């Protein structure tokens, strides 16, 4: 039988947690397992991992294989490093000290990597917010310019209509003034003719 260390999924939709288990390589992912080695909960901000290092090393010594995710978890928890040190004959006290230092360094690296990812996300969100604000400002400026242009057009049309009305009024008044002048001229001519005929003008 070929044993494999892998994750088995539990939990509900969008709220998963996993068990680190040893299974027969021919068994489906969530099938019956030979032994439970630990748990992994990815939901919290600082994800939770618990591993039985001695049991995991025992299975590794028996030739068990690992999936990529299981290998990553065992590496981060210092299990693979402990396995390597024990195989090399390192003293137990020294193994514990080195593994503790390794796990602390890995933990700090994971936290730093998460901070970098979060900063990148915040920067992206800020850039998107700035782009939206710039677009809204441009739209507001365009609307203001369009309103100002419409107001100017309306004013120009009103001025043109007013000028046209004034010109029309002047044109209508001009014939009446001309007729009055012609009548006055005719009256003056008539009086002149009477004077010539010997009649005194009244």
**pLDDT number for residue 93:** 86
**pLDDT number for residue 135:** 93
Contact 34/25 with Cβ under 8 angstroms?
no
The DSSP 8-state label assigned to residue 28 in this structure reads -
Edge-first strand listing for the sheet containing 35-41: 48-51, 35-41, 15-24, 3-12, 65-66
**Across the strands, what pairs with 31?**
none
Task: Return per-residue pLDDT of the chain as tens, 202 residues.
Answer: 688 999 988 888 888 889 999 988 787 766 788 999 999 988 876 778 889 999 999 999 989 999 999 999 999 899 999 999 988 888 888 888 998 899 888 888 877 888 888 899 999 999 999 999 999 999 999 999 999 999 999 999 988 888 888 888 888 776 555 555 555 666 666 565 555 555 554 4
Residue 43 half-sphere exposure, CB side, CA atoms within 13 Å? 11
H helix runs in the chain, sequence order: 53-61, 68-76, 79-87, 92-196
Residues in the chain: 202
**pLDDT number for residue 130:** 93
Cα separation, 133 vs 131, whole angstroms: 5
Q: Which CATH class name applies to 3-89? A: alpha beta
């Amino acid at each position: 039988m070929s044993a494999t260390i892998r994750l088995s999924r539990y939990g509900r939709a969008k709220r998963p947690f996993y068990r680190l288990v040893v299974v027969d390589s021919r068994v489906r992912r969530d099938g019956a397992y030979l032994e439970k080695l630990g748990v992994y909960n990815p939901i919290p901000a600082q994800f939770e991992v618990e591993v039985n290092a001695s049991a995991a090393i025992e299975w590794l010594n028996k030739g068990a294989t690992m999936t990529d995710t299981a290998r990553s978890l065992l590496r981060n928890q210092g299990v693979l490093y402990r396995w390597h040190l024990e195989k090399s004959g390192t003293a137990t006290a020294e193994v514990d000290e080195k593994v503790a230092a390794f796990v602390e360094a890995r933990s700090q690296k994971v936290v730093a990597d998460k901070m970098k990812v979060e900063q990148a996300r915040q920067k992206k969100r800020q850039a998107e917010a700035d782009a939206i604000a710039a677009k809204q400002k441009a739209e507001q400026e365009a609307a203001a310019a369009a309103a100002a242009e419409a107001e100017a057009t309306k004013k120009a049309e009103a001025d043109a209509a007013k000028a046209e009305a004034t010109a029309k009024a002047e044109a209508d008044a001009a014939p009446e003034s001309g007729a009055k002048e012609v009548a006055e001229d005719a009256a003056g001519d008539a009086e002149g003719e009477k004077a010539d005929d010997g009649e005194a003008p009244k």
